[in-house]
Chains A and B, each alone.
Chain A
Amino acid sequence: MTTVSPPSRITTLVEKLSLRDQVAPDEIEALKDVLDPPREIRSGADIVKEHSHPLHSTLLISGFSARYSSLADGARQITELNVPGDFIDLHSLLMKQMDHGVVALTDCVVASAPHAKLIRLTERHPHLTRLLWLDTIIDAAIHRQWLVAMGRRSGLGHLAHLVCELYLRLQAVGQASGKADGMRFNLPLTQATLGDALGLSTVHVSRLVTELRGEGVVSWSGGQVEILNWHRLAEIAEFDATYLRLQNEPV
């Protein structure tokens, strides 16, 4: 396996925030100042434990992680997949106790932002604070769309919706190739993990992936996804990207 050097600490976060509104140089400095040095987390390890009281929020720099809740019988439901540039628990700054956990789905690089420093940031940089607030609002919007998908979409529509979402979120942080070069991204997640995200059995997920492939909509193998027909995929998903708020409008 080739090691790709992870993007610098805040590149992906700044890229994402910059899509929504201009980020000023002093705001970029403020984000840099708030973060501790990056550290590695092994795949499968908890980055934030369920019910813990974190004293810092964590920025995902590279890899995939997931917000999840566990049930007494050992089952787990993933409530959001996180991609580079996501603050995986920015809300712990104000929520204090975690109502869910965050697990590393692949080897990850993360950096902590101590809550005391984040509080100072919110006092000195109101515009940057609104941008970060927006980011937590979009997390909530993602949860809403997942709830709709979980409750009302067909299995195929649900999987297609997830693929559309992940593509746009990864592309926003430079982790997916654009339309001109084939819409490709790495998704090194097992079907069991996808099942936990979709609320479906592994067997069903595997059939749905085969079905999407069979329709010629995606090619999907070895953790690499290529969207062959975005229009058709978005149609199957009834995908409306409004909730990802990827357009530039001042906050």
Chain B
Amino acid sequence: MPHFYFHTENGDCIRDDQGEDLPDVEAAREEAVTVLGEILRYRGAAFWETASFSVIVTDADGRTVVSVTARASDAAPEGWTLQETGE
């Protein structure tokens, strides 16, 4: 089974030196988004201080496999507008 490392970045990078054996990249994706959700769950409004949180997954050779990022902002994401509800 391939070995994946899950580093996190929110201004400070926390390296994962332990890593985890997972069957494939799909499983690494699942784990990455789970980690993101778990850690963000109790950040509360303090998340706006760093405003960005990423989980970056690397393989045994240190190459990035996938990453996932959540952002906080006072503005809407670029290009987003509230759609008219019709009639």
Chain A-chain B contacts (Cβ-Cβ < 8 Å), number: 26
Q: Is A204 in contact with B38, judged by CB distance below 8 angstroms?
A: yes
- Using Cβ atoms and an 8 Å threshold, which residues of chain A touch B41? 155
The residue among A200, A203, A204 with the most chain B CB atoms within 10 A of its own CB is A203
Chain B interface size, as a band, is: 10 to 19
Interface residues as binary, A134-164 with B (CB distance below 8 Å gives 1, 0 otherwise): 0000000000000000000011000000000
Interface positions, chain B 12-60, Cβ under 8 Å from A, are 14, 16, 18, 20, 31, 34-35, 38-39, 41-42
Main secondary structure of the interface of A (DSSP, over half): helix
Give Cα A154 to B39, complex, Å. 9
A201 close to B (CB within 8 Å)? yes
**Which bucket holds chain A's interface residue count?**
10 to 19
A203 x B16 contact (CB < 8 A): yes
Q: Is the CB of B39 within 8 A of A155?
A: yes
A192 vs B20: C-alpha distance in the bound complex, in angstroms? 9
Q: At the interface, yes or no: A96 with Cβ under 8 Å from chain B? A: no
The 8 Å CB contact of A155, one of B6, B8, B42, is B42
Please, could you name 26 A-B residue pairs with CB atoms under 8 Å apart, sorted by A?
A: A154-B42, A155-B38, A155-B39, A155-B41, A155-B42, A191-B18, A192-B20, A200-B38, A201-B31, A201-B34, A201-B35, A201-B38, A202-B20, A203-B6, A203-B16, A203-B20, A203-B31, A203-B35, A204-B35, A204-B38, A204-B39, A206-B16, A206-B18, A207-B8, A207-B14, A207-B39
What residues make up the interface of B, taking CB atoms closer than 8 Å to A?
6, 8, 14, 16, 18, 20, 31, 34-35, 38-39, 41-42
A residues neighboring B (CB under 8 Å): 154-155, 191-192, 200-204, 206-207
